[in-house]
């Protein structure tokens, strides 16, 4: 089976969040199951620089606004997965992130940048594709950035290939002025409720949701949640109509990249049978962060975008009382100024107990996931969430809300789950400061009981969170879609 995996970011080339982790690891897992996968990604400078064996593939014509672009093909540096990069300097040769400029604002031409990504994907799947010897059977799109691909495939690029759209986060919908419909060479007739129109605007994500042959979300619970007004961000009506077709497949993780036994970022490596190295990682983290080096002080960690979604404002409110209990806090993240400032103020107030690094730092994220005793993730919604999965792998139990992938991947600790060996973390009963305090306090109580804590860690580390099962679920889905 040939699969074109269309994405706007992929680790280790370029990453802003979980989509990159999935795009870096799922295609490799599909390849291990004998699927013939190619990734399609914009040729940002970091992509063109880091791909190996990069060579010209073909030119592609009739693109909106820019007319023409060159396609290059290379391989992922670590997994060898083939990657097609769209080399179009006018659109992608920029400093700063893939979506925002150095001042933190969206690039104004994002609809063109990702409209072109979508159009190239559709062109490569259609009769008349400039790549004659490799036609995909499945075009797997991800989030709004490639959301127009299924629309192009249905409206202007006839193909026998089928499209699958994975929703990694419904909060980002790619909504733009209606004039973009014509600028992106989409038929004007498609701008209607049964098409691309979304409350008077063009929505890339809605285009995908409406036209894709199959829809997935990154966890089973999120597939249910997005059909409700609370989590549907206005799209629940359409999602509800297609509800029976939405398949929730829980993300796996790259178990080579995230492996406590071999992780080069850790002061000491360790395993589920010999976990003492975790103490050394904690001590190194305390030292690096300027916290008091104390093996017995419970250390709580955060690695996150600092946004409303992540519920970390609730954590900020609990920190003063945690300090009185002798806890320490290590935070890595960036995002909303108010949240950044709240964490910075707490670090200034309690320098030996609270440490904050504002920014993006891959090695430090590994050190925190491994070195802290508990990971804090009180998300208001969480399509899948990856850090709680990394926590499982590193023997770091998480405190989570009962939503999306957090609900699907963490089992609350209580007498029953301790007895049957499934306890892996702590679940808040609701999304409030009080519920977070209660869940953390419960975690701290278990933490004082070393034997039970060790049991929870072992339960977590023994769960298979590799892509093996989920990649097979995607292959099964592709097979079903092709059969239909
Ligand atoms: P989201 O995609 O909503 O941001 P996920 O939990 O799905 O959340 O994935 C976030 C990914 O980004 C994880 O791999 C996490 O470790 C990483 N990450 C988030 N913030 C940072 C940061 N400041 N530095 C390094 N890695 C980060």
User: What DSSP line would sit under 395-408, residue for residue?
Assistant: T--EEE-SSHHHHH
Q: Looking at residue 71, what is its pLDDT?
A: 98
In this prediction, residue 104 carries a pLDDT of: 86
**pTM to 2 decimal places:** 0.96
CATH number at residue 215: 3.40.50.2000
Q: How confident is the model at residue 96 (pLDDT cuts 50, 70, 90)?
A: confident
Q: Does residue 266 lie within any of the structural domains? A: no
Q: Give domain status of residue 261, yes or no.
A: no
Assess whether 190 and 58 both reside in one domain.
Answer: yes
Ligand 1: which residue has its CA nearest to atom 24? 360
If asked whether residues 368 and 392 sit together in one domain, one would say: yes
Instruction: Report d(CA 152, CA 369) in Å as an integer.
Output: 41
Q: Does residue 425 sit in the same domain as residue 312?
A: yes
**Reduced to 3 states, what is the DSSP secondary structure of residue 361?**
coil
184 burial level (CB within 10 Å; 0-12, 13-18, 19+): buried
CB count in 10 Å sphere of residue 380: 18
Q: pLDDT-based confidence at 244, cuts 50/70/90?
A: confident
Is 58 in the same domain as 192? yes
Which residues is 299 bridged to in the sheet?
Answer: 328
Quick one: the chain helix, strand, coil %, rounded to 5? 40, 20, 40
Q: Which residue blocks in 215-271 are alpha helix, DSSP H?
A: 220-225, 236-241
pLDDT, tens digit, 9 for 90 and up, residues 71-83: 999 999 999 999 9
Residues 141-181 pLDDT 10s: 999 999 999 999 999 999 999 999 999 999 999 999 999 99
Ranking 95-109, 435-449, 459-473 by mean pLDDT, the lowest is: 95-109
Q: State whether the beta carbon of 304 lies less than 6 angstroms from ligand 1.
A: yes
Residues 449-476 have a mean pLDDT of 97
Query: Is a pLDDT exceeding 90 seen at residue 385?
Result: yes
What pLDDT is stored for residue 479 in this prediction?
98
152, 195 Cβ separation under 8 angstroms = no
Pair (130, 226) in one structural domain: yes
Does the beta carbon of 379 sit less than 6 angstroms from any atom of ligand 1? no
Say if 281 falls within a structural domain. Answer: yes
Probe target for ligand 1 pocket from 387, 393, 465, with the most ligand atoms within 8 Å of CB:
387
> How would you classify the pairing of strands 197-198 and 201-203?
antiparallel
Distance CA 373, CA 285 (A): 11
Strands across the sheet with 175-176, in order? 175-176, 201-203, 197-198
State residue 395's pLDDT score.
98
Report the nearest-CA residue for atom 4 of ligand 1: 17
Cα separation, 7 vs 22, whole angstroms: 10
- Say what the pLDDT of residue 386 is: 97
Helices (H) and strands (E) in the chain, counts: 19, 18
Give the distance (Å) from ligand 1 centre to CA of residue 362: 9
Indicate whether 141 and 210 sit together in one domain: yes
Alpha helical stretches, state H, 82-143: 89-92, 110-125
Distance CA 480, CA 247 (A): 12
Report how far residue 473's alpha carbon sits from residue 94's, in angstroms, rounded to the nearest whole number.
Answer: 37
Residue 355 burial (C-beta neighbours within 10 Å; 0-12, 13-18, 19+): buried
**How many CB atoms lie under 10 A from the CB of residue 467?**
24
Q: Cα dihedral angle (315, 318, 323, 324), rounded to 10 degrees?
A: -170
The answer to whether the peptide bond before residue 29 is cis (omega within 30 degrees of 0) is no
| Residue 396 and residue 416 in one domain | yes
Q: What is the largest CA-CA distance in the chain?
A: 68
Which neighbouring-strand residues pair with 399? 376, 426
Q: How many angstroms is it from 387 CA to the middle of ligand 1? A: 7
Neighbours of 34 (CB within 10 A): 8
Structure tokens at 367: 């050190």
> Which pLDDT score, from 0 to 100, does residue 243 have?
84
Ligand 1 atom, smallest distance to 15 CA = 12
Percent of the chain with pLDDT over 70: 100
Q: Is the CB of 21 under 6 A from ligand 1?
A: yes
Is 439 within a domain? yes
* CA of residue 9 to ligand 1 center, whole Å: 13
Percent residues over pLDDT 90 in the chain: 97
Same domain, 332 and 239: no
The tally of domains found in the chain comes to 2
Residue 257 lies in a domain: no
Note the pLDDT of residue 475.
98
Ligand 1 atom with the smallest distance to the CA of 333 is: 23
Mutation test residue for ligand 1: of 98, 386, 396, the one with most atoms within 8 Å of CB: 386
Residue 267 lies in a domain: no
The pLDDT of 277-283, averaged and rounded, is: 98
Q: Is residue 269 part of a domain?
A: no
d(CA 134, CA 148): 22
Q: Say how many Å lie between the CA of residue 16 and the centre of ligand 1.
A: 7
Q: How confident is the model at residue 95, as a pLDDT?
A: 85
Q: How far apart are CA 162 and CA 181, in angstroms?
A: 23
Distance 30 CA to ligand 1 centre (A): 23
Q: Identify whether residues 12 and 160 lie together within a single domain.
A: yes
Give the contacts of 369 (CB within 8 A, at least 6 positions apart). 258, 301, 303, 375, 387, 390, 391, 394, 396
Same domain, 417 and 439: yes
N-term to C-term CA, the chain:
15
Mean pLDDT of 297-305: 98
Average pLDDT of the chain, as a whole number? 97
Residue 73 structural domain: 2-252+467-483
The answer to whether the CB of 311 is under 6 A from ligand 1 is no
Q: Whose CA is nearest to atom 17 of ligand 1?
A: 17
Dihedral angle, C-alpha 415, 421, 424, 430, nearest 10 °: -40
* Mean pLDDT, residues 16-44: 97
Whether 137 contacts 482, CB under 8 Å: yes
Which of 305, 339, 340, 389 best tests ligand 1's pocket when mutated (most atoms within 8 Å of CB)?
Answer: 305
Atom of ligand 1 nearest to the CA of 169: 3
> Could you tell me the CA-to-CA distances from 19 to 105, 141, 313 in Å, in that order?
20, 11, 24
Cβ proximity of 37 and 471 under 8 Å: no
Ligand 1 contacts CB of residue 334 (under 6 A):
yes
> Could you tell me if 347 and 230 lie in one domain?
no
In this structure, the number of other CB atoms found within 10 A of the CB of residue 445 comes to: 11
pLDDT tens-digit series, residues 213-228: 999 999 999 999 999 9
State how far the Cα of 59 lies from the Cα of 86, in Å rounded to an integer: 9
303 lines ligand 1 (CB under 6 A): yes
Clarify whether residues 339 and 454 are in a common domain: yes
What are phi and psi for residue 344, nearest 5 degrees?
-65, -40
DSSP helix/strand/coil, 448: helix
Residue 307, domain member (yes or no): yes
Q: What is the torsional sign of CA 416, 419, 422, 423?
A: positive
């Amino acid at each position: 089976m040939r699969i074109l995996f269309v994405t706007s970011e992929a680790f280790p080339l370029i990453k802003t969040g979980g989509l990159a982790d999935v795009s870096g690891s799922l295609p490799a897992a599909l390849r291990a199951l004998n699927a013939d996968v190619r990734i399609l990604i914009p040729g940002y400078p970091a992509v063109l620089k880091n791909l190996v064996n990069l060579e010209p593939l073909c030119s592609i014509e009739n693109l909106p606004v820019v007319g023409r672009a060159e396609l290059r093909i290379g391989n992922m540096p670590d997994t060898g997965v083939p990657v097609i990069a769209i080399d179009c300097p006018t659109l992608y040769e920029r400093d700063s992130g893939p979506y925002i400029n150095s001042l933190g604002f969206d690039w104004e031409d994002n609809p063109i940048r990702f409209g072109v990504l979508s159009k190239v994907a559709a062109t490569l799947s259609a009769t008349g594709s400039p790549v004659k010897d490799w036609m995909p059977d499945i075009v797997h799109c991800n989030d709004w950035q490639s959301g127009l691909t299924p629309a192009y495939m249905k409206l202007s690029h006839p193909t026998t290939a089928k499209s699958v759209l994975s929703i990694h986060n419904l909060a980002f919908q790619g909504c733009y002025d209606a004039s973009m419909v014509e600028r992106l060479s989409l038929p004007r007739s498609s701008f209607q409720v049964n098409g691309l129109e979304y409350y008077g605007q063009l929505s890339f994500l809605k285009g995908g949701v409406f036209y894709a042959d199959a829809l997935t979300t990154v966890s089973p619970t999120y597939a249910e949640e997005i059909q409700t007004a609370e989590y549907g961000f206005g799209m629940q009506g359409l999602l509800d109509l297609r509800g029976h077709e939405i398949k929730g497949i829980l993300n796996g993780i790259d178990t080579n990249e995230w492996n406590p036994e071999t992780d080069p970022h850790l002061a000491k490596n360790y395993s589920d049978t010999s976990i003492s190295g975790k103490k050394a990682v904690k001590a190194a983290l305390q030292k690096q962060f300027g916290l008091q080096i104390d093996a017995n002080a419970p250390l709580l960690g955060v690695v996150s975008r600092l946004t409303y979604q992540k519920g970390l404002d609730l954590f900020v409110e609990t920190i003063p009382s945690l300090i009185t209990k002798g806890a320490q806090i290590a935070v890595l993240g960036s995002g909303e100024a108010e949240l950044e400032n709240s964490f910075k103020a707490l670090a200034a107030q309690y320098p030996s107990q609270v440490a904050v690094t504002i920014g993006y730092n891959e090695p430090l994220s590994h050190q925190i996931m491994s070195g802290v005793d508990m990971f804090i993730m009180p998300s208001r919604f969480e399509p899948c969430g990856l850090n709680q999965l990394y926590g499982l792998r590193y023997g770091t139990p998480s405190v989570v809300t009962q939503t999306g992938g957090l609900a699907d991947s963490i089992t609350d600790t209580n007498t029953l789950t301790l007895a049957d060996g499934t306890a892996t973390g702590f679940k808040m009963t609701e999304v409030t400061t009080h519920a977070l305090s209660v869940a953390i306090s419960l975690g701290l109580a278990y933490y004082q009981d070393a034997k039970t804590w060790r049991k929870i860690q072992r339960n977590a580390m023994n769960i298979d969170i590799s892509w093996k099962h989920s990649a097979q679920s995607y292959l099964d889905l592709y097979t079903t879609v092709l059969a239909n």
